Amino acid sequence: MISGPDGRVLEEVGDGIGVATNNVAEYRAAIEALRRARDMGATSLLLRSDSKLLIEQLSGRWRIKNPTLVRLHTEARELIGQIGSVAFEHVPRELNRDADRLANVGVDAWLAGPGRGYAAPEPAPELFD
């Protein structure tokens, strides 16, 4: 969700991304928000997320070890550089219901379209019986 300085919602996005980890999904959502804000002409931005990992990594306080997240972090930092001033805020999930709603819209859209027929993998067998 992208809001203007007055709090008015400018745009909502709920795109499905397919099968991904929560951390990858959080980065992809942040990247899309950064891209759209940049395209709207934003020169300063407050990026809010209920993902502590995302906020701490983008703030530079936590290291990134996962190679996929390193790539996504690089992409996000490039967009941040194009916007100018970006601040980060972690919000508890229960206070981020709009983002959760939009994530569910994206999942539902993916399952109704490209992900139709998707079945979650069976759990891995026990190594020791």
CA distance 71 to 90: 22
Contact predicate 51/43, CB 8 Å: no
Chain position carrying tokens 């400018």:
10
The C-alpha atoms of residue 124 and residue 122 are separated, in whole angstroms, by 6
Quote the distance between the C-alpha of residue 103 and its chain's center. 9
Render pLDDT for 25-34 as a digit per residue (tens, 0 to 9): 899 999 999 9
Does position 21 have pLDDT exceeding 80, yes or no? yes
- pLDDT digits over 101-116, tens only? 666 666 666 567 777 7
Strand pairing report for 9-11 and 2-3: antiparallel
Query: Domains along the chain?
Result: 7-112 (3.30.420.10)
